[in-house]
C-alpha cells in the first residue's frame, strides 16, 4: 500500500463468520479496486483450534482502479468496516457492485464511522 496515503482515506476491514475462502473472495474484490496492506499472495489461512477467525486488511480508498468483478460467496460474510466517512462510503460502494450488501449497524464519530455489513452473493 502506498505509505503516503492520507489516513482519512484508509479503511480497516475485518471479516468474520465466514470461511477462509469467502474471506479471500471479499479481500480479492477489494484488492481489485483499492491498494491494500496485504500482499496478493497472503490469503486468509485456517486458524488452529476451535476459536472463531477474524481476518483483517487495510485499504487505501484514495484511488479507485475500476469496477470489481462479480463474485460468488459460499455463505453470508460479516464485514466490520471502519474509517473516514468518504472512505467507508467508497469501500461500501465497491462491495455493493460485487455483492448484495445489508447494513446491520453503524456507529459514528467526529472523523470516522464504523459500519457492520452483511455480504451475500448477488
- CATH number (domain holding residue 32): 3.30.1360
Residue 4, H or E segment:
none
List the grid coordinates of 28: 480479492
Q: What is the pLDDT of residue 49?
A: 64
- Domain annotation covers residue 83: yes
List the grid coordinates of 20: 477462509
25: left (phi over 0), alpha (psi -120 to 50) or beta: alpha
Residues lower than pLDDT 70 in the chain: 1-7, 46-51
Q: What is the pLDDT of residue 2?
A: 47
- Domain annotation covers residue 4: no
Q: How many domains does the chain have?
A: 1
- Domain annotation covers residue 45: no
Contacts of 74 (CB under 8 A, 6+ apart): 18, 19, 21, 22
The pTM for the full model equals 0.86
Amino acid at each position: 500500500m502506498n505509505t503516503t496515503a492520507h489516513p482519512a482515506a484508509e479503511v480497516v476491514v475485518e471479516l468474520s463468520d465466514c470461511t477462509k475462502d469467502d474471506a479471500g473472495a471479499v479481500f480479492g474484490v477489494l484488492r481489485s479496486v483499492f491498494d491494500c496492506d496485504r500482499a496478493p499472495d497472503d490469503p486468509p489461512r485456517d486458524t488452529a483450534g476451535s476459536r472463531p477467525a477474524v481476518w483483517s486488511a487495510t485499504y487505501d480508498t484514495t484511488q479507485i482502479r475500476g469496477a470489481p468483478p462479480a463474485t460468488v460467496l459460499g455463505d453470508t460474510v460479516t464485514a466490520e468496516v471502519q474509517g473516514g466517512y468518504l472512505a467507508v462510503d467508497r469501500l461500501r460502494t465497491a462491495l455493493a457492485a460485487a455483492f448484495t450488501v445489508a447494513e446491520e449497524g453503524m456507529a459514528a464519530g467526529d472523523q470516522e464511522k464504523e459500519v457492520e455489513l452483511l455480504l451475500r452473493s448477488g
